[in-house]
Structure formats: C-alpha cells, structure tokens
A and B are shown apart, each in its own frame.
Chain A
Amino acid sequence: MKKPLVHLESASTGYHADTVLRDVDFSVYPEDFIGIIGPNGGGKTTMIKLILGLQPLFSGKLHFPAGRPRMGYLPQASQVDRSFPITVKELVSSGMKTRKAWVPFLSASQKSRLASMLGEAGLSGYAGKPIGELSGGQLQKALLCRALIDEPQLLILDEPNTHVDKQFEQELYQWLQELNKSMAILLVSHDIGTISPIIKSIACVNETLHYHPSNQLSEEVLKVYNCPVDVIAHGPVPHRVLKSHDHE
C-alpha cells in the first residue's frame, strides 16, 4: 500500500491560546481528491494551513511519511492584494521553490517552464501585465499557475470558486480532474453541491474532522455526524452549505 503524503494524528491547532481544531486524524494519499467542507469559522482554512506549515501544532502529530511533499497552494481570493504592483509573470514565478530565492534572475529552464505554464493557462499575452488588470477568472488561473509551477505532489485550494463566473468554475473543475491524475488535491469549499461531482471523498471540518470516504454526502449521513445542511440561494444558483453547528 502506498504511504500517505500527509498524516495528522490527534492534531490540534489554533490561534494564540484559542484551539480552533482538536483531535484531527486525517491522511492524504497520492491519488486523493478530497473536498473539505464545513461551516464558516469551522476550521477548514486553519486545517490546510496546518498541513502547509503556516499554523503551529498545539498537540498531536503531523507526519510526512514519504518525506515532505512538494505542495502547491491557492489561497482565498480575498487574501490577494490586487492593487499590489506585481506582474503576472512575477506572480507565477514566485511559486518556484528554490534554495537560491535570492538569485535575482530566473534560469533558462525556469523561464521556459514559466512560459509553458502561462501558455497552458492562456495567459501568455498577460505575462508582463500587472495582476490588477486581470479579471477574477484570469487572476485565479494565474494563482493556480503559481501553485502548479513547482509540479506539486499535493495541491491545496482554498475556495477557488469565489469571485469567478460559472464558465470558469466548470473549466477549473475539468482542469482539477485532469491534474488529479498526477497529484493529490485538497479542495476547500463551503458549497457541497458544486464540488461533489468532481471530488472522490469528503472531510467535514467543524472544530474537528469527520472523514467520509465517498463524494456522496446525504443529509442523513451528515446528521449522523451532527452536520446539518442548509439550502441557501444568493443569486440564481441554490447552494447546499453546512449550517453552523457544534459537535458537542
């Protein structure tokens, strides 16, 4: 059996003295495509930040049984400052991990990788443009290129479908399904309905984690885990989202 890329064992984390997530047991295998769902404030982003090494581990263990994997990260769109004077080319190249980050120029192979990445995403014509000139979908593509340029073994996406139109969302999901052939994917979303057709399994995060080894998440199953679902509609498309709830 393949070793997991990431393994969390009774892991707890939080901010300052407040524990946001407790007793999380979770593994990510190379072929996984896991949807991480849960109510707002339930700890979805905190959990992926723990895996990325951005959050301190309060207790428990975080293992990388096959060595620390290369990880690609696409943060929430609201975290990105679109007014910052950085070009698309610079943004994408910032995803290249190198021990010599201080070397001022990209190598020939890095330049060629950058050009092919931008070409694949249809962003070649925007390479020298500032990110502020991109549409919401184009910016997400650029951020996805940044996450992918290092050829990650684990791709982590935090709400990639916000601030994008439905057409781009479909394009993004097709792209992710293709990428899942060569890498594991963790996809954070508050909308179960739109991601369930593409993911292979579900992790419900609300102060702790409940893993569902299927992409089908019925209301009954969620009730077993004490995760009630609400159907909400803002705009034309109704969403199935988790209600705010406790696991006491």
Chain B
Amino acid sequence: MSEFFSIFQYQFFQHALAAAVLTSVIAAMVGTYIVSRKIVFIGGGITHASFGGIGLAYYMGLNPFAGAAVFGILTALGIEWISDKGKVREDSAIAILWSLGMALGIIFVFMTPGYTPNLMSFLFGNILTVSLTDIRVLLAYAILLIILFGIFYRPILYTAFDPEFARTKGIPVARYRYMMSVVMALAIVLSIRTVGIILVLSMFTIPQITAMLFTRNFSLVMPLAALWGVIGSIAGILMAYVLDIPTSAAIIFFLTMQFLILKGILLIRNHILRK
C-alpha cells in the first residue's frame, strides 16, 4: 500500500494530477457549450485539423502547439463562418477540414528532415510528461474561462440556445459565436497535451453527458461536469499506474465506465420508483 502512495511523491505524477484537474475544469466549461449546442462534430473537426498545424510547426521548426492553436482557431472560425453563411453544407465542410488537417499533419511530419517526432504522443497524449509551464498555461486558461463565463454567461447561453431570438434583442450573436469558436479551439488544443488528438473530444463530452443525467441547468452542468471529469481522470491515472497501461486511454475508459454505471443506477432507480 505504501508503495502505491509513494507515487504521489514524484513531481511528474503531481504534474499529471494537476493537469488532469485543470483539463477537466477547462473541458467542463467549454464542453457544456459544445454538448448543449450539439456541435460535437465541430469539436472533432477542430481537433483533427489542428494536427495539420502540429505537422507544419514541426516542419518549420516552431512550437507544435502554437501551430495546432493557429490551425485550430482558423478551422473553428472557418466552420462558424460556413455555418453562418450557409453556402456549403456544414457537415461536409467539417469532414473536409477534419481529413485535410490530418493529411497535412502526416505530410509535413513525413517531410521533416532527420528526427521524426513521436506521433503517438500527439495522437494519444502523454499526461506524465506535462511540465510546470504546461500547468501554468492550463491554470491561466482555466481562470480566464471562469472569468469569461462569469461575465458573459447570459449572452453565451442565449446565443447558444436561440441565436435568432437573441438577434431580435440586439445581442451581437456573430461576435459571441466567433468568440466561442476561438475559446473552443484553444481549449481543445491545450487539452491535446493531456489526452491526445484521438481522445480529447471525450473529455469535452462524456463528463457533460454524465452531468446532464442529474441536471438540465447550464450553470449547474458546468461544475458537475468538472467534478465528474476530475474524478474520472484521477481514477484513470491511478488505474493506468496500477495496471501499467496508457494513461489517456485509461482516463477515457474510466470516464465512460463512470457514465455507464451512473446511467445504469438511474435506470434501475427509475424502474423501482415506477413500480
């Protein structure tokens, strides 16, 4: 048992736990917006398109996460613009940007001379290598989001729920939607460090749908999703350590199990109450 707890002494493990908590808080706020607006597919498009930025940044010798952020933001703004103008089918445009981003990422990584970066760490994340700087960035972004949602809660909610009606009330809907596109893109890119491109979307959806089992109030879904996210990701990290399996996969597995178990409990409870 003492051997189990000894892991908490290591700095890399403390960093991993801090990153899990902060990523869960960020994903809870932004993911509630994504799930409520039913734009999970857009989140997928942003996530995968950002891989193109990672590849290009590697090719040019720049910070790969800066490249991912630029590609992610441009993709998010592009999708919102397409959705706003309605000239191209939104789902088709997302699918194009999704696959184009992945293709560009692979091409640029392939073209990068000499050292070939470890693609697996971008695709599946590696929370155990998170640095103190990464944690500071995650913390700053989490604080920024709390302030943003605190101040702009009402227009964010109103423009997400019924943008047409919000326009009739003089709310600058496009401005808020574009702002949220940038917020989404940055949140997703920052979370790639923790769980990777393939699995990051789960952090933005599973804790939220778990929270929505208990409440349909936007302002309560966010903290509850953060709670389920924190519990699921810490449990996942510990499970990964005990079973010696990849951490990001363990986190997603635990988040899913958490949802299924709670859903099952609620179904049984409702069944008993109906009798």
- Write the nearest CB–CB distance from B29 to chain A, whole angstroms: 13
Q: Are B155 and A101 in contact (CB under 8 A)?
A: yes
Q: Are B169 and A101 in contact (CB under 8 A)?
A: yes
- Alpha-carbon distance between A90 and B218 when the two chains are bound, in angstroms: 10
Number of inter-chain CB pairs below 8 Å: 83
Q: Are A86 and B169 in contact (CB under 8 A)?
A: no
- Cβ of B158 < 8 Å from any Cβ of A? yes
Instruction: Return chain B residues, CB-CB under 8 Å to A95.
Output: 165, 169
Instruction: Return chain B residues, CB-CB under 8 Å to A73.
Output: 165, 168
Q: Are B170 and A97 in contact (CB under 8 A)?
A: yes
- Cβ of B271 < 8 Å from any Cβ of A? no
- Write the nearest CB–CB distance from A45 to chain B, whole angstroms: 11
Instruction: Return chain A residues, CB-CB under 8 Å to B217.
Output: 85-87, 128, 130
- Cβ of B36 < 8 Å from any Cβ of A? yes
Q: Are A94 and B212 in contact (CB under 8 A)?
A: no
Q: Which segment, of A75-83, A117-125, A173-181, A214-222, faces chain B?
A: A75-83
- Write the nearest CB–CB distance from B245 to chain A, whole angstroms: 34
- Cβ of B164 < 8 Å from any Cβ of A? yes
- Alpha-carbon distance between A161 and B54 when the two chains are bound, in angstroms: 53
B residues 5-57 near A (Cβ < 8 Å) are 32, 36, 38
- Write the nearest CB–CB distance from A248 to chain B, whole angstroms: 29
- Write the nearest CB–CB distance from A153 to chain B, whole angstroms: 13
Main secondary structure of the interface of A (DSSP, over half): loop
Q: Are A94 and B165 in contact (CB under 8 A)?
A: yes
- Write the nearest CB–CB distance from B68 to chain A, whole angstroms: 30
Q: Are A94 and B154 in contact (CB under 8 A)?
A: yes
A residues 130-145 near B (Cβ < 8 Å) are 130, 132-133
Q: Are B167 and A53 in contact (CB under 8 A)?
A: yes
A84-B36, A85-B216, A104-B153 in contact; A54/B158 too (CB < 8 A)? no
Encoded as 1 (CB less than 8 Å from any B CB) or 0, chain A from 129 to 171 comes to: 0101100000000000010001000000000000000000000
- Cβ of B182 < 8 Å from any Cβ of A? no
Encoded as 1 (CB less than 8 Å from any B CB) or 0, chain A from 82 to 110 comes to: 01111100110111110101111000000
Instruction: Return chain A residues, CB-CB under 8 Å to B94.
Output: none
Instruction: Return chain B residues, CB-CB under 8 Å to A79.
Output: 162, 164
- Cβ of B171 < 8 Å from any Cβ of A? yes
Chain B residues proximal to chain A, CB less than 8 Å: 32, 36, 38, 86-87, 150-155, 157-158, 160-162, 164-171, 212, 215-218, 221
27 A/B residue pairs, CB under 8 Å, sorted by A = A49-B164, A71-B168, A79-B162, A80-B162, A81-B38, A84-B160, A85-B215, A85-B217, A86-B157, A86-B218, A90-B154, A93-B154, A94-B154, A94-B162, A95-B165, A95-B169, A97-B170, A101-B169, A101-B170, A102-B152, A102-B154, A102-B155, A104-B150, A104-B151, A128-B217, A130-B217, A146-B165
Other A-B pairs beyond A86-B217, A94-B157, A104-B150, 16, CB < 8 Å: A16-B86, A75-B162, A75-B164, A75-B165, A84-B160, A84-B161, A85-B36, A86-B161, A87-B217, A90-B154, A93-B154, A94-B161, A95-B169, A101-B170, A102-B152, A130-B215
Chain A residues proximal to chain B, CB less than 8 Å: 16, 49, 52-54, 71, 73, 75, 79-81, 83-87, 90-91, 93-97, 99, 101-104, 128, 130, 132-133, 146, 150
